[in-house]
A = this chain, B = another copy of it.
């Protein structure tokens, strides 16, 4: 796997020579290194015993990571029970989002449900209406998949150039975890979907009574009725004890606190699929049922919340890419605002409808950068510019902005959110 670096780009050896120079805080002679070793031997952490194992039955991050948290934008919503916070994607690496940092979006607050009292009902156009306890659900065959969940409104404030200063706020309504759940198809097979049953209404048990219509074809394809994320139980804010997983489709359809699945012959046209989660075009017409999340990417470092602090020389540029239609075989990077594009290095497992991590290493000369990334998905689709999206959809949109994001980095390493055309 390390061999993948070989011949990656002509500047490889030059890069490493640069890294060596950068890496040497105190070095070059044996005496200097030994001097450093003396200092290292007198740190508090090797002069006294550390914490015992019985102090943290459920562990928490180091106190030095106290700034790595979900953050909200207080002015964005009137009430915290119908609000949003954002995943600190600028602080993360790899593709797994830890459960404690997965963004939240509630419409009536995060319900706290006793799993012993919870039920899931299947009704409507079925041969037999069924009600399941959580224990009943656990008796069906399970699957495990890593999927991204992106809110349709992720990057929504960028449509009209709000330019929030940091990818946590521009792109942080996303997370990527491994789900354990029962294929929805198995539950529907138990109930027996009637021939005229072409749609499914999924309903949540929280105070908002969230509902969404889902076409039967998707329901029978890859949806899961999930009860675990990253190995452990769902978090309350993610729908504990059970949520719907609708891979690749907008997050609002992934009904949390799932309590009912009704089979019908047509969509329900409820609030969250008419007045909300539709895309109002420039001519006043609305695009509806735009469920699938288009390919998208963002550079997470450097970025406004993650400036370059080490000066010239070796610089790791990294980011995330994803597509609701499959995998991400390729991401292009530009450091000059789109004059030249280079292929990033894709890293780690490439999983269907999951985040993908990319890197691009350069020897930074200290000149200002105009950083952009452009995702290609496995269908051949290429991430568009914001202007291309606006030319088709106008400026009324809130949802489904998958346009290319630009960070301007100055020679001090400070980055900001800009638009270029």
Contact = CB atoms under 8 A, between A and B. Distances in A.
A96 interface: yes
A119 interface: yes
Contact of A23 (B99, B139, B313): B139
Contact of A359 (B47, B141, B206): B141
Given A54-B83, A99-B59, A190 B94 contact: no
Interface string A9-37: 00000001001101111111110111011
A81 interface: yes
B45 A111 contact: yes
A80 B115 CA distance: 34
B85 A141 contact: no
**How many copies of this chain does the complex contain?**
2
A81 B94 contact: no
A93 B231 contact: yes
19 contacts: A2-B185, A22-B136, A23-B132, A25-B133, A33-B131, A45-B111, A46-B207, A50-B109, A51-B81, A53-B106, A56-B70, A64-B233, A65-B240, A68-B233, A96-B96, A139-B316, A142-B316, A146-B349, A349-B349
A101 B141 contact: no
Given A51-B110, A62-B233, A71 B43 contact: no
Nearest to A140: B19
A231 B96 contact: yes
Contacts of A218: none
Given A30-B123, A39-B119, A52-B80, 10 more contacts: A23-B137, A23-B139, A28-B129, A32-B131, A50-B112, A52-B110, A57-B85, A64-B114, A94-B228, A96-B177
A314 B23 contact: no
A72 to B, nearest CB: 6
Contacts of A72: 53-54
B71 A22 contact: no
Among A55, A123, A139, residue most surrounded by chain B Cβ atoms (within 10 Å): A139
Chain A contact residues, majority secondary structure: mixed
A53 B240 CA distance: 15
A351 interface: yes
Contacts of A111: 45-46, 50
B112 A45 contact: yes
Contact of A25 (B93, B128, B131, B189): B131
Interface string A133-168: 101111111111110000000000000000000000
Interface residues of A, number: 144
A65 B232 contact: yes
A286 interface: no
B27 A130 contact: yes
Contacts of A131: 24-27, 32-33, 36
A93 B85 CA distance: 27
A267 interface: no
Contact of A59 (B1, B102, B117, B135): B102
A96 B178 contact: yes
